[in-house]
Amino acid sequence: MAMAAMPQIDAPIALLVDVGSGRVLYARDVHRRFVPASITKIMTSYVAFDLITKGKLRLDQRMPMRPETFKQWHRVGSTMFLPADSQASVAELIEGIVTVSANDACVVLAEGAVGSVPAFTKLMNDAAAELGMRDSHFNTPNGWMDEGQTYVTAADLATLSGALMTRFPELYRQFYGHAGMTWGGISQPNHNPLYGYVEGADGVKTGFTNEAGYGFVGSAQRNGRRLVMVLGGYDRPNLRAKQSRELIEWGFAMWDAQPLFAKGAEVGSAVVQGGAAREVPLLAPRDLSVTVPRGAKAAYSLSVRYKGPLKAPIAKGETVGSLLVRVPGEAVHVLPLVAGADVAKGGMLDRLRDGALGLVGL
């Protein structure tokens, strides 16, 4: 079957990725830095989800509006209209951030979670570094204009979005994919251009300022297969809407995913140094696949890589290795593998065991 023509994409920055395989289906200037505007809020939610998962933040926790925050952010850009005396919960703030792009909620959450906006943006940049987002920097939790101090790339945003969905699947399903929200008696729609038009659409975030133009990170999932796209720099929102729908439909229609490993499957194992156990299983954190043009069969080879031996302690679910998928004529696809168990730091006997086995090459 011949590959259908790519739809016209006028965005100066564009990327379409199959998350399960890591295969790039379309790319244009994906390492060019650009101003994300409200797309920044994907990282804001990532940090919030991480704090919640670690028990440092609770969904029912109340966050007071500071007088100076109200003065600065009341009715500035997109907002959930938090009053001066508001005590919104973390869950309500995240809903406002994700669904209606609430600038005020971002600042209230940042200040309430870790004390200040600078402390929160430090967590954002720490997370970016941990994810390997080498060409991104965050100076604000809401993406408001800051003379270019906040910047990203399409490649980094695809990495971030994939991690958001994979690492926090329950929280992602809880807060993303909503067509609108009502809070304080005010109802507002989500401006995601895929909702109501694309089957399986559940994310992620639009962005607009005069500085940035119209950008979008979009995602949809069908039959266990997830596509993520990044579009940056449109002049008109209606063109962004039309072309984003066409691009993701092309990705589903003209490419197939051939399964490799189901989520949770053991792919291999890694040697551990200084741990209570000498090995840890390496698991697929999500369904892993290889993507090929519709009707084609993939020829590929697989190998496992990790920086070994791994050093204990290791947390279950921590990304500690990679599955390398080699397809002739393509760049190597690198898919994450996570630890299948906790490995505590070992004692004296464990170190003696490692030393003795090391002497005989085991």
Q: Which two tokens stand for residue 68?
A: 């100076």
229, 266: one domain: no
Contacts of 298 (CB under 8 A, 6+ apart): 258, 290, 291, 292, 327
271, 223: one domain: no
245, 274: one domain: no
pLDDT along the chain (362 residues), means of 10: 76 96 95 96 98 97 97 95 97 98 98 98 98 97 94 97 94 97 96 97 93 94 95 96 98 94 95 90 94 88 92 92 91 91 79 59 56
Amino acid at 270: A
167, 305: one domain: no
Pick the last residue of a domain from 256, 286, 302: 256
Contacts of 278 (CB under 8 A, 6+ apart): 271, 272, 353, 354, 357
Q: Quick check: is 194 in a domain?
A: yes
As a whole number of angstroms, the distance between CA 164 and CA 150 comes to 19
267, 136: one domain: no
What's the number of domains the chain is made of?
2
Task: Select from 206, 58, 204, 44 the least CA-distant residue to 127.
Answer: 44
Task: Select from 220, 261, 319 the least CA-distant residue to 18.
Answer: 220
Predicted pLDDT at 362 = 53
Pick the last residue of a domain from 208, 230, 256: 256
Q: Quick check: is 3 in a domain?
A: no
Predicted pLDDT at 2 = 47
Predicted pLDDT at 350 = 57
53, 190: one domain: yes
As a whole number of angstroms, the distance between CA 333 and CA 21 comes to 7
Contact predicate 337/260, CB 8 Å = no
SS3 205: strand
Query: Residue 295 is part of a domain; what is its CATH number?
Result: 2.60.410.10
Q: Quick check: is 5 in a domain?
A: no
271, 167: one domain: no
Predicted pLDDT at 200 = 97
Pick the last residue of a domain from 256, 272, 301: 256
Residue with token string 């399409």? 154
54, 199: one domain: yes
Cα→Cα distances 317→123, 207, 267, Å: 20, 32, 14
Predicted pLDDT at 42 = 98
As a whole number of angstroms, the distance between CA 122 and CA 138 comes to 8
First and final C-alpha spacing in the chain: 50
Which residues are known catalytic residues? 38, 41, 101
Domain of residue 203: give its range: 13-256
Return the DSSP state at 307. Answer: -
21, 151: one domain: yes
247, 276: one domain: no
Task: Select from 80, 84, 70 the least CA-distant residue to 178.
Answer: 80
275, 300: one domain: yes
Q: Quick check: is 2 in a domain?
A: no
The residues that bridge with 325 in the sheet, in sequence order, are 302, 333
Q: Which two tokens stand for residue 336?
A: 């994450």
Predicted pLDDT at 158 = 97
113, 206: one domain: yes
